[in-house]
Amino acid sequence: MRITFNKFVLAPVILATAALAATSAMAEARVNVPFNFTVGGKAFPAGQYSVIEDSTHNSVILWAKKAPVSFTSLIGAGDPAPTDSKVILKFDHLGDRFALQSIQYRSLITPRLDKREKTTEHTPVRMIEGQ
């Protein structure tokens, strides 16, 4: 009888662990940014980045794969369509430098991140889509 009880207890635990691992793996997107940029007053180097939505679906984390920098922002409803599944980093091109304007994570988007930068409606914008 004891063996049967262990099977009934362990099976749901194993399934829950597998489901959590699958969900975590799907929650990360990779983005290759080919230029240095700033966000929140911090300098970020060119390179590979991960974009991760937190478990509460209220914020998004941008972190560099090979540098000790990261950035977290609130995320909410915005311009993307409700069925959009893209991850897009949007940058303002300010002369010879770039400033991260927003992060779109599926159907959610951050508020404008480069409020301190002087931009106009004519400021060039560059978008990089994640995988």
Domain that holds residue 119: 28-129
Distance CA 96, CA 89 (A): 18
Asked whether residue 11 is assigned to any structural domain, the reply reads no
Backbone CA torsion sign across 55, 58, 60, 61: negative
Asked whether residue 17 is assigned to any structural domain, the reply reads no
What is the average per-residue pLDDT within 64-91?
88
pLDDT digits (tens, 9 = 90+) for 32-75: 999 999 998 899 999 999 999 988 889 999 999 989 999 999 99
Asked whether residue 23 is assigned to any structural domain, the reply reads no
As for how many domains the chain has, the answer is: 1
Asked whether residue 112 is assigned to any structural domain, the reply reads yes
pLDDT digits (tens, 9 = 90+) for 5-37: 445 444 444 444 444 443 444 468 999 999 999
